[in-house]
Homo-oligomer: A and B are copies of this chain.
Protein backbone atom coordinates (compact mmCIF):
# COMPACT_ATOMS: atom_id res chain seq x y z
CA UNK A 1 0.00 0.00 0.00
CA UNK A 2 1.52 3.29 -1.11
CA UNK A 3 1.14 6.33 1.14
CA UNK A 4 1.31 9.77 -0.48
CA UNK A 5 1.35 13.12 1.27
CA UNK A 6 2.35 15.24 -1.70
CA UNK A 7 -0.22 15.87 -4.41
CA UNK A 8 2.34 15.72 -7.20
CA UNK A 9 3.45 12.26 -6.05
CA UNK A 10 -0.18 11.15 -5.90
CA UNK A 11 -0.87 12.39 -9.42
CA UNK A 12 2.30 10.81 -10.77
CA UNK A 13 1.23 7.43 -9.37
CA UNK A 14 -2.28 7.73 -10.82
CA UNK A 15 -0.91 8.60 -14.25
CA UNK A 16 1.47 5.66 -14.15
CA UNK A 17 -1.50 3.41 -13.35
CA UNK A 18 -3.48 4.87 -16.28
CA UNK A 19 -0.57 4.38 -18.63
CA UNK A 20 -0.51 0.74 -17.50
CA UNK A 21 -4.17 0.51 -18.52
CA UNK A 22 -5.53 0.37 -14.96
CA UNK A 23 -8.93 1.76 -14.04
CA UNK A 24 -8.81 3.80 -10.81
CA UNK A 25 -11.53 3.92 -8.14
CA UNK A 26 -11.38 6.63 -5.51
CA UNK A 27 -12.86 6.71 -2.00
CA UNK A 28 -12.60 10.14 -0.32
CA UNK A 29 -12.75 10.03 3.50
CA UNK A 30 -11.96 12.21 6.50
CA UNK A 31 -10.30 9.22 8.16
CA UNK A 32 -11.35 7.73 11.51
CA UNK A 33 -12.49 4.83 9.41
CA UNK A 34 -15.32 2.52 10.38
CA UNK A 35 -17.12 -0.38 8.72
CA UNK A 36 -19.12 2.06 6.58
CA UNK A 37 -15.93 3.33 4.95
CA UNK A 38 -14.61 -0.18 4.50
CA UNK A 39 -17.82 -1.06 2.73
CA UNK A 40 -17.10 1.78 0.28
CA UNK A 41 -13.62 0.36 -0.24
CA UNK A 42 -15.03 -3.08 -0.98
CA UNK A 43 -17.36 -1.55 -3.54
CA UNK A 44 -14.46 0.38 -5.07
CA UNK A 45 -12.55 -2.85 -5.57
CA UNK A 46 -15.44 -4.23 -7.61
CA UNK A 47 -15.47 -1.16 -9.85
CA UNK A 48 -11.82 -0.79 -10.87
CA UNK A 49 -8.36 -2.30 -11.02
CA UNK A 50 -6.79 -0.14 -8.34
CA UNK A 51 -8.23 1.71 -5.34
CA UNK A 52 -7.12 5.04 -3.87
CA UNK A 53 -8.44 6.12 -0.46
CA UNK A 54 -7.93 9.71 0.66
CA UNK A 55 -7.74 10.62 4.34
CA UNK A 56 -8.10 14.35 4.86
CA UNK A 57 -10.06 16.37 7.39
CA UNK A 58 -11.06 19.16 5.03
CA UNK A 59 -10.92 22.49 6.86
CA UNK A 60 -13.08 24.34 4.33
CA UNK A 61 -16.22 22.36 5.15
CA UNK A 62 -16.15 23.22 8.85
CA UNK A 63 -17.62 26.45 10.21
CA UNK A 64 -15.55 28.23 12.89
CA UNK A 65 -17.93 26.97 15.62
CA UNK A 66 -17.76 23.36 14.42
CA UNK A 67 -15.55 20.42 15.40
CA UNK A 68 -12.64 20.77 12.96
CA UNK A 69 -10.10 20.82 15.80
CA UNK A 70 -11.58 17.89 17.71
CA UNK A 71 -12.61 15.74 14.72
CA UNK A 72 -11.11 12.27 15.42
CA UNK A 73 -7.78 11.69 13.63
CA UNK A 74 -5.86 8.40 13.65
CA UNK A 75 -3.78 7.90 10.53
CA UNK A 76 -1.88 4.89 11.83
CA UNK A 77 -5.12 3.19 12.93
CA UNK A 78 -6.74 3.98 9.57
CA UNK A 79 -3.82 2.49 7.65
CA UNK A 80 -4.06 -0.67 9.76
CA UNK A 81 -7.78 -0.93 8.95
CA UNK A 82 -7.15 -0.52 5.22
CA UNK A 83 -4.29 -3.03 5.02
CA UNK A 84 -6.45 -6.20 4.85
CA UNK A 85 -8.49 -4.68 2.00
CA UNK A 86 -5.44 -4.46 -0.26
CA UNK A 87 -5.99 -0.79 -0.98
CA UNK A 88 -3.38 0.30 -3.53
CA UNK A 89 -2.75 3.86 -2.41
CA UNK A 90 -3.65 6.17 0.46
CA UNK A 91 -3.57 9.90 -0.15
CA UNK A 92 -3.15 11.89 3.05
CA UNK A 93 -2.36 15.34 1.72
CA UNK A 94 -0.86 18.39 3.30
CA UNK A 95 -3.18 21.34 3.76
CA UNK A 96 -4.77 21.60 0.32
CA UNK A 97 -5.44 25.31 0.73
CA UNK A 98 -1.86 26.34 1.20
CA UNK A 99 -0.56 28.51 -1.58
CA UNK A 100 1.84 26.36 -3.55
CA UNK A 101 3.40 28.82 -5.95
CA UNK A 102 5.31 32.04 -5.54
CA UNK A 103 6.94 33.61 -2.56
CA UNK A 104 6.06 30.97 0.02
CA UNK A 105 7.42 28.12 -2.03
CA UNK A 106 10.60 27.53 -0.08
CA UNK A 107 8.88 27.82 3.26
CA UNK A 108 6.21 25.37 2.14
CA UNK A 109 8.81 22.86 0.98
CA UNK A 110 10.50 23.01 4.35
CA UNK A 111 7.23 22.49 6.17
CA UNK A 112 6.38 19.59 3.88
CA UNK A 113 9.74 17.93 4.43
CA UNK A 114 9.72 18.20 8.21
CA UNK A 115 6.08 17.20 8.42
CA UNK A 116 6.59 14.18 6.20
CA UNK A 117 9.55 13.08 8.30
CA UNK A 118 7.46 13.44 11.45
CA UNK A 119 4.66 11.35 9.92
CA UNK A 120 7.10 8.62 9.02
CA UNK A 121 8.62 8.63 12.50
CA UNK A 122 5.44 8.73 14.52
CA UNK A 123 2.73 7.49 12.18
CA UNK A 124 0.96 10.73 13.04
CA UNK A 125 -1.58 12.54 10.94
CA UNK A 126 0.76 15.12 9.54
CA UNK A 127 -1.95 17.49 8.41
CA UNK A 128 -2.38 18.51 12.04
CA UNK A 129 0.91 20.38 12.22
CA UNK A 130 0.00 22.35 9.17
CA UNK A 131 -3.55 23.28 10.00
CA UNK A 132 -2.45 25.57 12.82
CA UNK A 133 -0.98 27.74 10.10
CA UNK A 134 -4.19 27.50 8.11
CA UNK A 135 -5.48 30.99 8.86
CA UNK A 136 -2.29 32.44 7.47
CA UNK A 137 -2.75 30.87 4.04
CA UNK A 138 -6.43 30.10 3.56
CA UNK A 139 -7.22 33.68 2.58
CA UNK A 140 -5.23 33.17 -0.55
CA UNK A 141 -7.51 30.40 -1.79
CA UNK A 142 -10.50 32.10 -3.36
CA UNK A 143 -12.03 29.67 -5.87
CA UNK A 144 -15.16 27.88 -4.72
CA UNK A 145 -17.67 25.61 -6.38
CA UNK A 146 -21.31 26.27 -5.71
CA UNK A 147 -24.07 23.81 -6.55
CA UNK A 148 -26.53 26.59 -6.17
CA UNK A 149 -29.80 24.74 -5.60
CA UNK A 150 -28.71 21.48 -4.01
CA UNK A 151 -26.49 23.27 -1.48
CA UNK A 152 -29.45 25.13 0.04
CA UNK A 153 -31.84 22.75 1.82
CA UNK A 154 -31.33 20.31 4.72
CA UNK A 155 -27.72 20.45 5.99
CA UNK A 156 -27.18 23.51 3.81
CA UNK A 157 -29.50 25.49 6.08
CA UNK A 158 -27.81 24.61 9.37
CA UNK A 159 -24.26 24.39 8.01
CA UNK A 160 -23.83 27.32 5.61
CA UNK A 161 -20.60 26.98 3.65
CA UNK A 162 -20.46 23.22 4.24
CA UNK A 163 -21.31 22.12 0.69
CA UNK A 164 -19.20 24.87 -0.84
CA UNK A 165 -16.28 23.29 1.02
CA UNK A 166 -17.28 19.76 0.06
CA UNK A 167 -17.75 20.49 -3.66
CA UNK A 168 -14.45 22.35 -3.80
CA UNK A 169 -12.35 19.72 -2.05
CA UNK A 170 -13.93 16.90 -4.08
CA UNK A 171 -13.01 18.80 -7.26
CA UNK A 172 -9.46 19.24 -6.02
CA UNK A 173 -9.22 15.50 -5.26
CA UNK A 174 -10.64 14.63 -8.67
CA UNK A 175 -7.98 16.81 -10.31
CA UNK A 176 -5.17 15.25 -8.28
CA UNK A 177 -6.21 11.58 -8.19
CA UNK A 178 -7.86 11.58 -11.65
CA UNK A 179 -10.08 8.59 -10.92
CA UNK A 180 -12.42 6.80 -13.32
CA UNK A 181 -14.92 6.01 -10.56
CA UNK A 182 -15.56 7.62 -7.19
CA UNK A 183 -17.53 6.07 -4.33
CA UNK A 184 -19.67 8.08 -1.91
CA UNK A 185 -21.82 6.87 0.97
CA UNK A 186 -25.54 7.56 0.86
CA UNK A 187 -25.33 8.21 4.61
CA UNK A 188 -24.40 11.72 3.43
CA UNK A 189 -27.31 11.72 1.02
CA UNK A 190 -27.26 15.41 0.11
CA UNK A 191 -23.50 15.31 -0.41
CA UNK A 192 -23.88 12.35 -2.77
CA UNK A 193 -26.62 14.08 -4.79
CA UNK A 194 -24.60 17.29 -4.94
CA UNK A 195 -21.47 15.52 -6.18
CA UNK A 196 -23.52 13.76 -8.88
CA UNK A 197 -24.93 17.10 -10.04
CA UNK A 198 -21.53 18.77 -10.01
CA UNK A 199 -19.95 15.97 -12.02
CA UNK A 200 -22.68 16.23 -14.64
CA UNK A 201 -22.66 20.04 -14.78
CA UNK A 202 -18.87 20.41 -14.99
CA UNK A 203 -18.36 17.53 -17.45
CA UNK A 204 -16.14 15.48 -15.21
CA UNK A 205 -15.61 12.08 -16.84
CA UNK A 206 -16.02 10.24 -13.55
CA UNK A 207 -18.66 7.68 -12.64
CA UNK A 208 -20.15 8.40 -9.22
CA UNK A 209 -21.45 5.48 -7.19
CA UNK A 210 -23.63 5.93 -4.12
CA UNK A 211 -23.32 3.12 -1.57
CA UNK A 212 -26.05 2.19 0.85
CA UNK A 213 -25.83 3.49 4.40
CA UNK A 214 -24.39 0.97 6.86
CA UNK A 215 -25.81 0.61 10.39
CA UNK A 216 -24.40 -0.69 13.64
CA UNK A 217 -26.12 -3.83 14.94
CA UNK A 218 -28.37 -1.70 17.15
CA UNK A 219 -29.49 0.37 14.14
CA UNK A 220 -27.39 3.54 14.57
CA UNK A 221 -26.10 4.81 11.24
CA UNK A 222 -22.32 4.44 11.19
CA UNK A 223 -20.44 7.71 11.58
CA UNK A 224 -17.04 8.82 12.80
CA UNK A 225 -18.89 11.20 15.09
CA UNK A 226 -20.57 8.32 16.95
CA UNK A 227 -17.41 8.11 19.08
CA UNK A 228 -18.45 11.44 20.63
CA UNK A 229 -21.56 9.80 22.18
CA UNK A 230 -21.67 8.60 25.78
CA UNK A 231 -23.40 5.24 26.18
CA UNK A 232 -26.52 6.98 27.56
CA UNK A 233 -26.58 9.41 24.62
CA UNK A 234 -26.09 6.54 22.26
CA UNK A 235 -29.19 4.81 23.59
CA UNK A 236 -31.13 8.03 23.05
CA UNK A 237 -29.74 8.38 19.54
CA UNK A 238 -31.28 5.04 18.57
CA UNK A 239 -34.57 6.91 18.45
CA UNK A 240 -33.57 8.07 14.95
CA UNK A 241 -33.25 4.64 13.36
CA UNK A 242 -36.25 3.40 15.38
CA UNK A 243 -38.35 6.22 13.96
CA UNK A 244 -37.20 5.43 10.43
CA UNK A 245 -38.41 1.85 10.85
CA UNK A 246 -41.79 3.20 11.90
CA UNK A 247 -41.84 5.50 8.87
CA UNK A 248 -41.12 2.57 6.57
CA UNK A 249 -44.00 0.57 8.07
CA UNK A 250 -46.35 3.55 7.96
CA UNK A 251 -45.63 4.09 4.26
CA UNK A 252 -46.23 0.40 3.55
CA UNK A 253 -49.52 0.77 5.43
CA UNK A 254 -50.55 3.66 3.20
CA UNK A 255 -49.53 6.79 5.11
CA UNK A 256 -48.18 8.98 2.33
CA UNK A 257 -48.51 12.54 3.57
CA UNK A 258 -45.19 13.99 4.60
CA UNK A 259 -46.42 15.92 7.63
CA UNK A 260 -47.74 12.78 9.37
CA UNK A 261 -44.52 10.90 8.71
CA UNK A 262 -42.36 13.81 9.85
CA UNK A 263 -44.43 14.14 13.02
CA UNK A 264 -43.88 10.48 13.75
CA UNK A 265 -40.10 10.93 13.65
CA UNK A 266 -40.23 14.17 15.58
CA UNK A 267 -42.15 12.64 18.49
CA UNK A 268 -39.77 9.70 18.70
CA UNK A 269 -36.68 11.92 18.79
CA UNK A 270 -38.08 14.48 21.22
CA UNK A 271 -39.25 11.70 23.50
CA UNK A 272 -35.62 10.49 23.62
CA UNK A 273 -34.38 13.99 24.58
CA UNK A 274 -33.02 14.70 21.11
CA UNK A 275 -33.21 18.15 19.53
CA UNK A 276 -34.40 18.09 15.95
CA UNK A 277 -32.39 20.13 13.42
CA UNK A 278 -34.51 19.07 10.46
CA UNK A 279 -36.79 16.26 9.33
CA UNK A 280 -37.79 16.50 5.67
CA UNK A 281 -39.23 14.29 2.99
CA UNK A 282 -37.77 15.20 -0.40
CA UNK A 283 -37.76 14.22 -4.03
CA UNK A 284 -34.65 12.09 -4.49
CA UNK A 285 -32.80 13.96 -7.24
CA UNK A 286 -33.50 17.61 -6.51
CA UNK A 287 -34.06 17.20 -2.75
CA UNK A 288 -37.02 19.55 -3.08
CA UNK A 289 -39.61 19.01 -0.31
CA UNK A 290 -42.58 16.74 -1.03
CA UNK A 291 -46.00 17.00 0.56
CA UNK A 292 -46.96 13.49 -0.48
CA UNK A 293 -44.88 10.48 -1.42
CA UNK A 294 -45.92 10.30 -5.06
CA UNK A 295 -42.46 9.71 -6.53
CA UNK A 296 -39.17 8.15 -5.35
CA UNK A 297 -38.50 10.01 -2.10
CA UNK A 298 -36.07 10.17 0.77
CA UNK A 299 -36.62 11.19 4.37
CA UNK A 300 -33.63 13.08 5.76
CA UNK A 301 -33.03 13.71 9.44
CA UNK A 302 -30.54 15.73 11.46
CA UNK A 303 -30.78 15.82 15.24
CA UNK A 304 -28.64 16.72 18.22
CA UNK A 305 -28.05 14.42 21.16
CA UNK A 306 -26.18 16.39 23.78
CA UNK A 307 -23.32 18.03 21.83
CA UNK A 308 -23.39 15.56 18.95
CA UNK A 309 -25.19 16.24 15.67
CA UNK A 310 -26.21 13.06 13.84
CA UNK A 311 -27.74 12.62 10.38
CA UNK A 312 -29.63 9.70 8.92
CA UNK A 313 -31.97 9.00 6.01
CA UNK A 314 -34.13 6.39 4.34
CA UNK A 315 -35.26 6.11 0.74
CA UNK A 316 -39.02 5.70 0.44
CA UNK A 317 -40.90 4.26 -2.51
CA UNK A 318 -44.32 5.45 -3.59
CA UNK A 319 -46.91 2.65 -3.50
CA UNK A 320 -47.07 0.43 -6.59
CA UNK A 321 -50.19 1.39 -8.51
User: A: which residues have CB within 8 A of B?
Assistant: 7, 11, 96, 99-101, 141-150, 167-168, 171-172, 175-176, 197-198, 200-205
Query: Nearest chain B CB to A210's CB is how many angstroms away?
Result: 15
8 Å CB contact of A101 from B145, B150, B168, B200: B200
Listed from nearest, the 8 A-B pairs whose CB atoms lie closest are A143-B201, A175-B203, A172-B203, A142-B149, A142-B148, A143-B198, A143-B147, A141-B201
Question: Using Cβ atoms and an 8 Å threshold, which residues of chain B touch A197?
Answer: 142-143
Q: Is the CB of B142 within 8 A of A202?
A: no
The answer to whether B202 and A143 touch across the interface, beta carbons within 8 angstroms, is yes
Docked CA distance A200–B144 (Å): 12
Query: How many angstroms from the CA of A142 to the CA of B291 in the assembled complex?
Result: 24
Neighbouring B residues of A149 by C-beta, 8 Å: 142
> Chain B's nearest CB lies how many Å from the CB of A6?
12
Q: Given A205-B11, A205-B175, decide whether A100 and B200 contact each other with a Cβ distance below 8 A.
A: yes
Complex Cα gap A7–B204 (Å):
11
Task: Please state if A202 and B148 are interface contacts (CB–CB under 8 Å).
Answer: no
Nearest CB of B to A171, in Å: 6
How far does the Cβ of A313 sit from chain B's closest Cβ, in whole Å?
A: 21
A167's closest neighbor in chain B, by CB?
B143
A191 to chain B, nearest CB (A): 14
Cβ–Cβ < 8 Å partners of A205 in chain B: 11, 175
Q: Which residues of B contact A150 (CB under 8 A)?
A: 142
Contact of A171 among B100, B141, B200, B202 (CB under 8 A): B202
Cα distance A111–B149 in the bound complex, in angstroms: 27
Residue from B147, B167, B198, B203 in contact with A176 in the complex, judged by beta carbons closer than 8 Å: B203
Interface centre among A142, A146, A147 (most CB of B within 10 A): A142
**A244: min CB distance to chain B, Å:** 28
Which interface residue of A142, A143, A150, A176 has the most chain B CB atoms within 10 A?
A: A143
Give the distance to chain B from A58, nearest Cβ to Cβ, in Å. 13
List the B residue with the shortest CB-CB distance to A8.
Answer: B205
Q: Measured between C-beta atoms, what is the minimum distance from A17 to chain B in Å?
A: 14
Q: How far is the CA of A171 from the CA of B101 in the complex (A)?
A: 20
Chain B residues whose CB sits within 8 angstroms of the CB of A145 once the complex forms: 143-146, 202
B146 & A202 in contact (Cβ 8 Å cutoff) = no
State in angstroms the CA–CA spacing of A96 and B203 once bound together: 9
Closest to A148 in B: B142
A/B interface sample: 8 pairs, CB < 8 A = A11-B205, A99-B200, A101-B200, A142-B147, A142-B148, A144-B146, A145-B145, A171-B202
